[in-house]
Structure 1
Amino acid sequence: MQLVRGLHNLRPLNRGCVATIGNFDGVHRGHQAILARLRERSAELGVPSCVVIFEPQPREFFTPDGAPPRLSRLRDKVALLTAQGVDRVLCLAFNRRLRELSAAEFVQQVLVDGLAVQHLEVGDDFRFGCDRAGDFAFLAEAGAREGFTVEAAHTVELDGLRVSSTGVRSALANGDFVLAEHLLGRPFVITGRVLHGQKLGRQLNAPTANVQLKRKRVPLKGVYLVSAQVDGKVYPGVANIGVRPSVAGDGSAHLEVHLLDFAGDLYGRRLPVTFHRKLRDEQRFASLEALKAAIAADIAAARAHWQGQPLK
């Protein structure tokens, strides 16, 4: 899979493709249905498939403090799109210049001059261009004029539920990991590099891996049963994700993972953390002793759970 960062990095060999446009946050089963159609059109026309995404996502540009939590960072999103058989990802920097492009300019510069799109898959409610002036009808007219076809990707429902990134976030916020996995088509995972932290876990008899989140907001907050794969072996564990109210910090979210019966050095490694069940909300404790007791209880609960339901 080829990742192209910005229109200026497109080359003549990148011209001629079938494409879709969107955030693709989480690459859930609704997205997967669009990508399946994209693969079909790619095979029919004998040209590569391309997914056009934005970084940051538009709502993060317009309202950085009010944008929804990310399900997947860019690196994770690209990996998920690769797993879906996408040939190319064009990542456009969503900045003032892109925001001010009219719908006609976006079509001309991105779809026609940049990608030479032959077929386009978009949601029937897709809006684009300055002030969101462009819509499906605008694209269909432009396609008829410029020589590319446009198809509407309709909403996907599973058991009567609309599949959406918002729905996944809601399931995660409610601790419903069964529903989240149903909508995603896989368990929810956060992957990040293990960094050096305050080493407080050692004082609390619970050494933890401090996993880099690299996002302003996260869709989870609390203490969870998790698992993580290290060198081909899956270890059960318990994790806290939140602002650590009992410890002086910078107020940003942190993910700290304690793997049961693991001994080794994880610093500098990328650790994929799979979330299975919520144990409790994040709490503020009056003392480190109280925090230590709570962590011991969390670890005991995790051990009891994993002994009753061993990881496969």
Structure 2
Amino acid sequence: MRLVRHLTDFKATRPSAATIGNFDGVHLGHQQVIEHVIHQAQVLKLHSTVISFEPLPAEYFRKPPPSRIYPLRDKVRCLRREQFEYFVCLRFNHALATMPAELFVERILIQTLQVKYLVVGDDFRFGAGRKGDYPLLQNLGQHYGMQVVDTPTLLTGQQRISSSLIREHLAQAELNKANALLGQPYQLSGKVSGGKRLGRTIGFPTLNLAMPDNLALRHGVYVVRIHGLGHQAHYGVANLGKRPTVGGLGLRFEVHVFNFSQMVYGQLIHVEPLHFLRDEQKFASIDALKAQIQQDSQTARAFLQAQQLVY
């Protein structure tokens, strides 16, 4: 998969079969759509292309922004598994937000991306004032020679698989339910950054990952599995939050890795929440915080032992 952030960098050698949307989560429904695009691209001898936006349009228009399942880094990581050719991630700014729907189709879909086959949801809206819709796409598609089809609905039981449903599960720390709809374990990644090193002074060093403030996952303490610190996974306990006890500001995932003491600043790791322990809270003192982390670690180790996971 080739990531394209600027349309001037799109150097396709033939037209595309494409789909367009937010793809927050890259869940089972998204995967089904992308598989359909890949199949049609092979049949029609086209490039397979996924089109999305960053920030997501709802993040651009709404302040504070609504929650999202994945930061861009993790969305790209999940999309790479789908093995299509181009991921065109357009910067959603004033110019794009105010572009009429007809002009978006003509300039971006037809002239630049050369889309011949387009898959969208029948509730898809785009263009200035959200005036572009599925019927408009069909009409313009007939004019420009672009076939437009809608996406089939994928259900779990009687419920439609959707990003909003997954966000609800993550907000309640219902990890198993979210994972079932994602079709893969929920993971967050980032490069280990330096912090105040308070954890080391109280015997619990942490690997700190910066996270967007509008992350959907419930703030609190989790038992976690860590990937990227060697050939085998590690386990530990982590806090997702803003560290109110020490006056923290931005959202961070602070990961204490069991039986690990290496310095890995700048290293990319992936953190997989396995089990929710408690909500984040503010403590009256550092000693009280230390005592709670000790208790959290004991509880996490007991959970791992019960699951027969070696830490």
Same fold (TM over 0.5): yes
Please report how far the alpha carbon of residue 69 of structure 1 lies from its aligned counterpart in structure 2 after TM superposition.
Answer: 2.1
Aligned AA for 2:259? D
Distance 1:302 1:84 in 2: 33
The aligned counterpart of 2:202 is 204
Distance 1:175 1:292 in 2: 24
RMSD over equivalenced CA pairs, Å? 1.3
* 2:1 is aligned with 1:4: no
Flag the 1:15–1:113 CA change in 2: closer, same or farther, 3 A: farther
User: Is this contact kept in 2: 1:38–1:49, CA < 8 A?
Assistant: yes
User: Is this contact kept in 2: 1:225–1:278, CA < 8 A?
Assistant: yes
Please report how far the alpha carbon of residue 68 of structure 1 lies from its aligned counterpart in structure 2 after TM superposition.
Answer: 2.1
The aligned counterpart of 2:75 is 77
Please report how far the alpha carbon of residue 9 of structure 1 lies from its aligned counterpart in structure 2 after TM superposition.
Answer: 2.4
The aligned counterpart of 1:117 is 115
The aligned counterpart of 2:193 is 195
The aligned counterpart of 1:217 is 214
The aligned counterpart of 1:304 is 302
Distance 2:70 2:221 in 1: 20
Distance 1:55 1:64 in 2: 15
User: Is this contact kept in 2: 1:48–1:87, CA < 8 A?
Assistant: yes
Please report how far the alpha carbon of residue 15 of structure 1 lies from its aligned counterpart in structure 2 after TM superposition.
Answer: 4.6
User: Unaligned stretches of 5+ in structure 1?
Assistant: none
Say which of 291, 297, 307 aligns to 1:293.
Answer: 291
Distance 1:235 1:176 in 2: 22
Aligned AA for 1:8? T
Q: Secondary structure at the match of 1:71?
A: coil
* 2:210 is aligned with 1:179: no
Give per-residue Cα distances to partners, 1:15-44, cap 9 Å, x unaligned. Answer: 501001111111011111111111111111
Aligned AA for 2:120? V
The aligned counterpart of 1:132 is 130
Q: Secondary structure at the match of 1:241?
A: strand
Give per-residue Cα distances to partners, 1:236-292, cap 9 Å, x unaligned. Answer: 11100011111122x221110011112312211011000111100111111111111
The aligned counterpart of 1:47 is 46
Q: Is the deviation greater in 154-163 or in 221-230?
A: 154-163
Distance 2:13 2:164 in 1: 33
Q: Secondary structure at the match of 2:269?
A: strand
Q: Is the deviation greater in 76-85 or in 21-30?
A: 76-85
Q: Secondary structure at the match of 2:233?
A: strand
Q: Is the deviation greater in 203-212 or in 193-202?
A: 203-212
User: Is this contact kept in 2: 1:15–1:114, CA < 8 A?
Assistant: no
User: Is this contact kept in 2: 1:15–1:115, CA < 8 A?
Assistant: no
Q: Is the deviation greater in 76-85 or in 114-123?
A: 76-85
Distance 2:66 2:308 in 1: 34
Percent identity of equivalent pairs: 41
Distance 1:81 1:187 in 2: 14
User: Is this contact kept in 1: 2:192–2:266, CA < 8 A?
Assistant: yes
User: Is this contact kept in 2: 1:14–1:115, CA < 8 A?
Assistant: no
Distance 1:64 1:4 in 2: 27
Structural mapping, 1:79-94, within 5 Å: 79-94=77-92
The aligned counterpart of 1:233 is 232
Aligned AA for 2:254? E
Normalised by the length of structure 2, the TM-score is: 0.96
User: Unaligned stretches of 5+ in structure 2?
Assistant: none
Moved over 3 A (4+): none
Distance 1:58 1:255 in 2: 26
Please report how far the alpha carbon of residue 205 of structure 1 lies from its aligned counterpart in structure 2 after TM superposition.
Answer: 1.4
Q: Secondary structure at the match of 1:195?
A: coil
User: Is this contact kept in 1: 2:14–2:46, CA < 8 A?
Assistant: no
Please report how far the alpha carbon of residue 14 of structure 1 lies from its aligned counterpart in structure 2 after TM superposition.
Answer: 5.0
Distance 1:279 1:159 in 2: 29
Aligned AA for 1:81? L
Q: Is the deviation greater in 283-292 or in 68-77?
A: 68-77
Distance 2:244 2:213 in 1: 17
Q: Secondary structure at the match of 1:246?
A: helix
Distance 2:164 2:292 in 1: 32
Please report how far the alpha carbon of residue 125 of structure 1 lies from its aligned counterpart in structure 2 after TM superposition.
Answer: 0.4
Say which of 256, 262, 281 aligns to 2:254.
Answer: 256
Aligned AA for 1:263? S
